[in-house]
């Protein structure tokens, strides 16, 4: 019985990795487990939110009583967000979409030949940048998976993607980022305010992020 401070709010939350096929039997992906995004969806639901979870492939059980949209590729994630964006109040981009996909997906299994296999990749759409450009009153929260120059890179992403704030995780630290139940983050807002948080459960961090969103909403 926590606060029901997200009642009448539609939240679109993206989670997990995307995958991009290389040929009929192989694909590329990354280490995202979906835990951060699913924790946000679960906690937002508990707080009364109308949650749509758009998720890449994970091994997690989604929270009950929310709309779940399963996607594979980054372009599918973009299309799924497009369908939910107009009437949502909050978009949280906790997913780790692949920035590139193979330029050509082979119709037949790629055969083993030379020692070195060369492939070309083409840029995927930047989902957040797209919605950052067209957003009206929506609050948009991004994540940044960084290994170095964390503040600088996160600041650049806030501007480029028009986030209200960004949650930067140093994925090179133990207990932070991909796969773990915990995270260590720095939250930076669009005015340049910086807050460092110690190691904590993703569930607790989800509530800190939701608190910040509620605060922003009561200010506007
Ligand atoms: O899933 P877990 O195992 O729990 O791990 C959590 C996490 C590390 C995946 C999560 O905390 C996280 O950092 N998610 C963002 C990872 C990422 O894609 O970071 P980025 O710096 O490449 O992207 C910055 C932002 O743009 C992110 O909000 C991302 O969702 C978004 N993005 C990225 C690429 C793309 N083509 N479109 C996007 O919208």
Q: For 21-42, how does the pLDDT look when each residue is reduced to its tens digit (9 = 90+)?
A: 999 999 999 999 999 999 999 9
Q: Do 85 and 138 touch, CB atoms closer than 8 A?
A: yes
Task: Quote the crossing angle between the two packed helices 74-85 and 127-134, to the nearest 10°.
Answer: 20
Q: Decide if pLDDT at 177 tops 80.
A: yes
Q: What pLDDT is stored for residue 86 in this prediction?
A: 97
Written as six digits, the tokens of 203 are 């569930």
| Catalytic residue numbers, as ranges | 30
pLDDT of residue 219: 81
Contacts 24+ apart (CB under 8 A), 131-136: 131/81, 131/85, 131/91, 132/160, 132/161, 132/162, 132/163, 133/162, 135/85, 135/91, 135/162
Pocket test for ligand 1, best of 125, 145, 180 (most atoms within 8 A of CB): 145
Per-residue pLDDT of 43-88, as tens digits, reads 999 999 999 999 999 999 999 999 999 999 999 999 999 999 999 9
Query: Is pLDDT above 80 for 220?
Result: no
Question: Which numeric CATH code is attached to 10-102+120-219?
Answer: 3.40.50.10300
Beta strand extents in 107-203 (DSSP E only): 121-123, 139-146, 165-170, 182-183, 185-189, 194-196, 200-201
Instruction: Give the closest residue (by CA) to ligand 1 atom 8.
Output: 177
pLDDT at 111: 93
Question: pTM for the whole thing?
Answer: 0.97
Rg (CA), the chain: 18
- Listed in sequence order, the DSSP H helices in the chain are 35-46, 74-85, 127-134, 150-161, 202-219
Residue 177: both structure tokens together: 């980022």
Q: Which atom of ligand 1 is nearest to the CA of 30?
A: 9
179 lines ligand 1 (CB under 6 A): yes
- The interface predicted TM-score of the complex, written ipTM, equals 0.98
Ligand 1 pocket check for 12: Cβ under 6 Å? no
Helix (H/G/I), strand (E/B), else coil: 110:
coil
* Secondary structure, 3-state, 68-91: EEECCCHHHHHHHHHHHHCCCCEE
Say whether pLDDT at 1 is over 70: no
Domain coordinates of the chain in residue numbers? 10-102+120-219
The rounded distance, in Å, linking the Cα atoms of 194 and 192 is: 6
CA of 96 to the centre of ligand 1 (A): 4
What's the pLDDT tens digit per position in 193-213? Answer: 999 999 999 999 999 999 999
* Gap between the Cα atoms of 182 and 201, Å rounded: 4
């Amino acid at each position: 019985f926590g606060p029901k401070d997200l009642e009448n709010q539609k939240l679109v939350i993206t989670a997990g990795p995307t995958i991009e096929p290389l040929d009929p039997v192989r694909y590329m992906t990354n280490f995202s487990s979906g835990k951060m995004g699913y924790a946000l969806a679960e906690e937002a639901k508990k707080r009364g939110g109308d949650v749509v979870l758009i998720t890449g492939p994970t091994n997690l059980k989604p929270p009950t009583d929310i709309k779940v949209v399963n996607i594979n590729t980054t372009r599918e994630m973009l299309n799924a967000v497009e369908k939910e964006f107009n009437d949502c109040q909050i978009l949280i981009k906790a997913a780790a979409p692949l920035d590139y996909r193979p330029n050509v997906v082979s119709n037949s299994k790629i055969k083993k030949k030379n020692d070195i296999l060369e492939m070309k990749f083409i840029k995927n759409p930047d989902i957040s940048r797209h919605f950052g450009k067209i957003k009206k009153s929506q609050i948009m929260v991004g994540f940044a998976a960084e290994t170095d120059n964390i503040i600088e890179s996160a600041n650049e992403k806030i501007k480029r993607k028009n986030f209200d704030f960004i949650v930067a995780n140093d994925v090179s630290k133990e207990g932070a980022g991909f796969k773990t139940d915990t995270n260590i983050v720095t939250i930076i807002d669009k005015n340049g305010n910086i807050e460092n948080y110690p190691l904590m459960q993703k569930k607790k961090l989800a509530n800190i992020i939701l608190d910040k969103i509620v605060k922003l909403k009561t200010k506007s």
